Structures are given as C-alpha cells and as structure tokens.
Amino acid sequence: MKGYALWSALIGIAYVILGLAEVASWIAGVFGKELQMPVTRDIIAGFVLITIGSILLYRTGDLMKMKYEGLSFLFVGLMLSAIIGGMYLLIALADALDAVIVGEEWAFDPSAYNLPAIILFILLLPCWLALRRKNEFSE
C-alpha cells in the first residue's frame, strides 16, 4: 500500500505544481506577459488541479497506515481526476471526430485541451488497484 500512497503523493504534487503554473500563466496573461509553459492559461482549471492535488496529498499518511480516511481521500482524488482528465480527453476526441466527419484538418493542440490534466489522469490510473484492498483497511 505504501507504493500506492507514494505514487498518489507524487502525482498530487504534480497536480499542485501544474495548477499553480496555470494560475501564474493566467495572471501573467492579464498583465500582458507571456509565460512559456505548456498550460492552458485557465484560472479555473488551475484551481481545479490544485484542489485535486491537495486532496491526494491531504491523507497520504493515513493511506500508508491503511486507515479508511486515507483510502477515502484517495478515492475522491481518483474520481475528480477521472472526471476532469476524462472530460478533456473526450473534448479532444470529439474535436477530432468532428474534423473527420466534416472533412477538415485537425491538429492536436496541447494548450487547447489541458494536456497536463490528461497525462496526470492517465498516470494516476494504477491507484485504482488500491481500492481492491479496501477490506484490509482499519478505522
């Protein structure tokens, strides 16, 4: 279980860092500056990424000690990651399908689909396996 806890903590740190980068990029854009970061410059997306990262980090110690509180925070973080990352992935696939149907050219633009959220969602997928061991947790 410690492996899952450490992996989710690392991904949580990445969520917070990328969320802060999104917020910083948005703030710089307001002042007419351009930051060279692979983020979307969306302040709401930045706060969502910070929230997911905070949830993943909050009870990492309890997750390592096999307590239900740690598992519940991991589950909520996994759900939010799946909703946000899956949403951006579906948006990209819908745009690609639209281009195929209409016959237009489509090029994947990482800044339009929040690529960091998609990548972190995919990297967090192995933590779903931790939920199979829910019977081993204590209160």
Q: Using N-to-C axis directions, what is the helix angle for 68-102 and 43-58, rounded to 10°? A: 150
Rounded distance, CA 106 to CA 68, Å? 46
Rounded distance, CA 54 to CA 38, Å? 21
Q: How many domains does the chain have?
A: 1
Q: Which helix (H) or strand (E) holds 117?
A: helix 115-124
Predicted local distance difference test score (pLDDT) of residue 84 = 92
Single out the residue of 75, 92, 88 nearest to residue 117, CA to CA.
88
Structure tokens of 138?
């204590």
* Domain ranges, residue 121: 1-136
138 pLDDT band (50/70/90 cuts)?
Answer: low
Structure tokens of 139?
């209160």
Predicted local distance difference test score (pLDDT) of residue 131 = 78
Contact status, residue 113 vs residue 88, Cβ threshold 8 Å: yes
What DSSP character marks residue 134? G
**Amino acid identity for residue 122 in this structure:** I
Tell me: pLDDT of 130 over 70: yes
Q: CA 27, 33, 39, 41: dihedral to nearest 10 degrees? A: 40
Rounded distance, CA 21 to CA 109, Å? 18
The pLDDT tens digits for 5-41 are 888 899 999 999 999 988 888 888 777 777 666 666 7
The pLDDT tens digits for 53-105 are 999 999 888 878 877 787 888 889 999 999 999 998 998 889 889 888 988 88
Residue 19: what are its φ and ψ, rounded to 5°?
Answer: -65, -45
